[in-house]
Amino acid sequence: MSDAATADQTTSALALNWINRQAALGEPWFFAQAPSTLPAPYPIAFNDDVAALLDLDADAVRAAGYAEALSGNALPDGCEPVSHRYGGHQFGVWAGQLGDGRAITIGDIRNSRGQAYEIQLKGAGKTPFSRFADGRAVLRSTVREYLGSEALAALGVPTTRALAIVGSDAPVYRETVEHAAVMTRVAPSLVRFGSFEILFENRNFDALAPLADHVIEEHFPEIAAIEDDAERYRTWVERVIDLTAELIVDWQAVGFCHGVMNTDNMSVLGLTLDYGPYGFMDSFDPDWICNHTDAGGRYTYEQQPHVGLWNLGRFVQSILPLLSGDPDTAVEIGQKLLQRYRGVFDDAYMERMRAKLGLSQARDDDRELVDGLFKTMAADGADFTRTFRALGHVSADPEASDAPFIDEFADRDAASAWLARWRERLGNTNADDVGRAERMRLTNPKYILRNYLAQNAIDRADEGDYSEIERLHAILRRPFDEQPENADYAKLPPDWARGLVLSCSS
C-alpha cells in the first residue's frame, strides 16, 4: 500500500466528531499551528481504554496504522490544530509568557455521550511559544507520562490521559542524544491557572470573560445556567478551589508527588497536568523531593497542600475583574473564596485516610491516629504503599498476629504500639474483618508506578523493546488486585534504584 493510501486509511479510522471550539475562540488564547513533520514515525503504544473514551475502534486504528496521524504528519480530516498561550509562576516567581512550547492540540471533539475532549500531540514540533527549544519530546519523558497518567487514572485520581506513543529515530539533543517521540494526550480541557494569569499580567482584562465562559459552558453546565455574571464566576471559582483541594488529597493518599506544581501546571478542572519529575513515594519521608531541580524543597510531599492554596491565590488574583467591578470589593470576595480551601482539604483528607485505615465512622481523635502512623513510618522509612496495603491484611483481634504490618518496619515495637492503638480504635473485635479488609483493599493499592519500574521500561524501549511498557501498563490498570503472577512488581525497590534522580527534563 502506498504512503498516501495508508494515510487515508489511518485518517478514516481516526474520524471523530471534531467541534474545534478552541480554534473558533482563536487569539489571544489559541493560535493556529500545524505540527512539524516527524521523520519515519513508528508505533510504540496504543491505549484501548482512552480510545473508548473517544469512540475510536482500537483494533481498526491499529490495523490502519496510527503513526503518521498521531505524529502529526497526516492529521485526521476535520481537526484544526492550535497551540495554547499561557503564563505561570515557576517555583514561586512570575515567569511571564510560557505557552505550549512542544504541544499542539490538533482539535477538540465531542463523543457519543456528549463529553468534550481535547486531543493534543506532545512533542509535535515548534510553536509560537517554543522560545529557543526544538518543540520535540524524547522517548524517556514520553514513556514516563504515558505510564504515569494511566497509573493515576487507574487509582481514581483525576488526570490527563494518554492515547498513544509514536517514536522516531530522529535525534533529539538533551543532556545526551535521545530518540524523538510524540505522545497523544487527551483531556476534557488543558486550560490552566496560567491561562488566566497571562491575561491579567498583561492587563488584557477583556479577554478573561470569554475564556472563563468557554470553560464554564463546556465543563460546568450547571454553573453556566446562573444568569448573574458575578455570581456565576464566584460559583465557578468555588468549584475550582474544591477540585484543586480534592486533587491534592488524592495525591497525598497514594504518596504521589507532582514535582513541579507551578501555576502553569495547574488545571482549572482539577486534573493532574504535565508529568515531569513526578514520583510515587517509596520510603515515607514527608520532606521527600522528587525533583532534584527543586533545591529549596518547595514541592515536597508535605508542602503540596500549602502550594495548592498558594497557586489558587494566584489564580483568584488573575480573575478578580470577573468577581466585581470594584477592585476593593473583588479582593474581598477573592479572599473569602480562598478561605474555603482548608476546610474542603481537611474534610476530604480525613475521609480518605479513614478509608485507608478501615475506619467506617469518624471520631475527633482520628487525626492523631493518622499522624501517629505517618510519624512511625517516617522514623523507620517504611514503604508508603506496602505499609497501608499490609494493614488491610491484619485482624482487628489483639490476639491475632501483627504480621504482615510490622514486617514493613525495622522498629517492630513502635509499629506494634501504633497497631495496638488502631485495634483499640476498631473496638478490638474481628466481627467485620472480612468486610473491612475488602474495603481497605479497594483504597490501598498493591501496585504503583515506582521510579525503577518506569526506568526499566524506558531502558528496554531505548533498545527497541516496547513490551515492558505494555506489560507495566496492564499491571497498573488493576492496582488494587492481588495479581499473584505479578507479585515481583510490588516488591521494595532494589538498591540501585535509590540513586535514580529526576529533573525538569524528565
Domain boundaries, the chain: 3-135+163-189, 194-349, 359-441
Asked whether residue 274 is marked as a ligand-binding residue, the answer is yes
C-alpha cell at 104: 499542539
Give 58's contacts (C-beta < 8 A, 6+ positions apart): 46, 48, 51, 52
Query: Looking at residue 132, what is its pLDDT?
Result: 87
Query: Looking at residue 1, what is its pLDDT?
Result: 46
Query: Looking at residue 87, what is its pLDDT?
Result: 98
Q: Is 328 a catalytic residue?
A: no
Asked whether residue 135 is marked as a ligand-binding residue, the answer is yes
pTM (global) more than 0.85: yes
> Contact 187/117 with Cβ under 8 angstroms?
yes
Query: Looking at residue 295, what is its pLDDT?
Result: 87
C-alpha cell at 448: 504503583
CA angle 122, 123, 126 (to 5 degrees): 115
Q: What sign has the CA pseudo-torsion 285, 290, 295, 297?
A: negative
Among candidate residues 108, 264, 294, 380, the one labeled active-site is 264
> Contact 157/272 with Cβ under 8 angstroms?
yes
Asked whether residue 239 is marked as a ligand-binding residue, the answer is no
> Contact 233/323 with Cβ under 8 angstroms?
yes
Asked whether residue 99 is marked as a ligand-binding residue, the answer is yes
Tell me how many helices (H) and strands (E) the chain has. 20, 12
Asked whether residue 55 is marked as a ligand-binding residue, the answer is no
Query: Looking at residue 364, what is its pLDDT?
Result: 92
Neighbours of 217 (CB within 10 A): 13
361, burial (CB in 10 Å: exposed 0-12, middle 13-18, buried 19+)? exposed
Residues of the chain where predicted confidence (pLDDT) is lower than 50: 1-2, 506
CA angle 184, 241, 195 (to 5 degrees): 50
Give 291's contacts (C-beta < 8 A, 6+ positions apart): 259, 260, 276, 277, 299, 502, 503, 504
pLDDT per residue over 337-370, tens digit each?
999 999 999 999 999 999 999 999 999 999 999 9
Asked whether residue 101 is marked as a ligand-binding residue, the answer is yes
Asked whether residue 96 is marked as a ligand-binding residue, the answer is no
Asked whether residue 423 is marked as a ligand-binding residue, the answer is no
